[in-house]
A and B are shown apart, each in its own frame.
Chain A
Amino acid sequence: GQNIDQPTEMTATEGAIVQINCTYQTSGFNGLFWYQQHAGEAPTFLSYNVLDGLEEKGRFSSFLSRSKGYSYLLLKELQMKDSASYLCAVRDPGGFKTIFGAGTRLFVKA
């Protein structure tokens, strides 16, 4: 089976940097996704990691360590519109399914 853990809530200040952590325990691994979900809306894709290291996309970066079962999403130059839930998700060994964590609600304050 798979288990994914991430903090329930985080608060950060506009303009700052925030790191959202995700740990996973799996019997296999085929990649890790981060999604953003604004309240009342659908999740949207942010990033994908399958190899160890950092992937950068503008203000957002995602890091993966497969040996530690650990990933983080780094958001720089926070904006009020970044207030949302951030979902960590791991593709299962068979490749058909993706298991989602419960999500981290990020509140950005002025």
Chain B
Amino acid sequence: NAGVTQTPKFRVLKTGQSMTLLCAQDMNHEYMYWYRQDPGMGLRLIHYSVGEGTTAKGEVPDGYNVSRLKKQNFLLGLESAAPSQTSVYFCASSSGQLNQPQHFGDGTRLSIL
């Protein structure tokens, strides 16, 4: 029972490089989310999706793009990485029912030099 799987777990990039973070869930959840977590700031929502083929902006979307081509996958892209994007990125999924919590992946630790 894998739950939510994020790849890679760690990555170091140079300023201006691009990369894609992968998130996969095997719980048949409708909703998926990408957060970043920085010291003292808690989890901040980057983008989210309420179903296959749909995406929406969260609290801090600038510099990121997402795609949800398949229900089980949610991809987060950094087109031109900046040092301010150094963070821990968490993917989460939920069924969408109001009383159901989000299930989180183990996180991706990303450093931009």
Contact = CB atoms under 8 A, between A and B. Distances in A.
A48 to B, nearest CB: 6
Contacts of A97: 33, 45, 48, 58
B102 A98 contact: yes
Contacts, number: 50
Contacts of A101: 42
Interface of A, secondary structure class, is: loop
Nearest to B94: A98
Interface in B1-49: 31, 33, 35, 40-45, 48
Interface residues of A, number: 24
Interface string B87-113: 000100000101101111111000000
B78 interface: no
B98 A102 contact: no
Given A42-B107, A45-B101, A48-B101, A103 B48 contact: no
A50 B98 CA distance: 9
Interface in A1-57: 8, 30-31, 33, 35, 41-45, 48, 50
Interface of B: 31, 33, 35, 40-45, 48, 50, 56, 58, 90, 96, 98-99, 101-107
Interface of A: 8, 30-31, 33, 35, 41-45, 48, 50, 87, 89, 91, 95-103
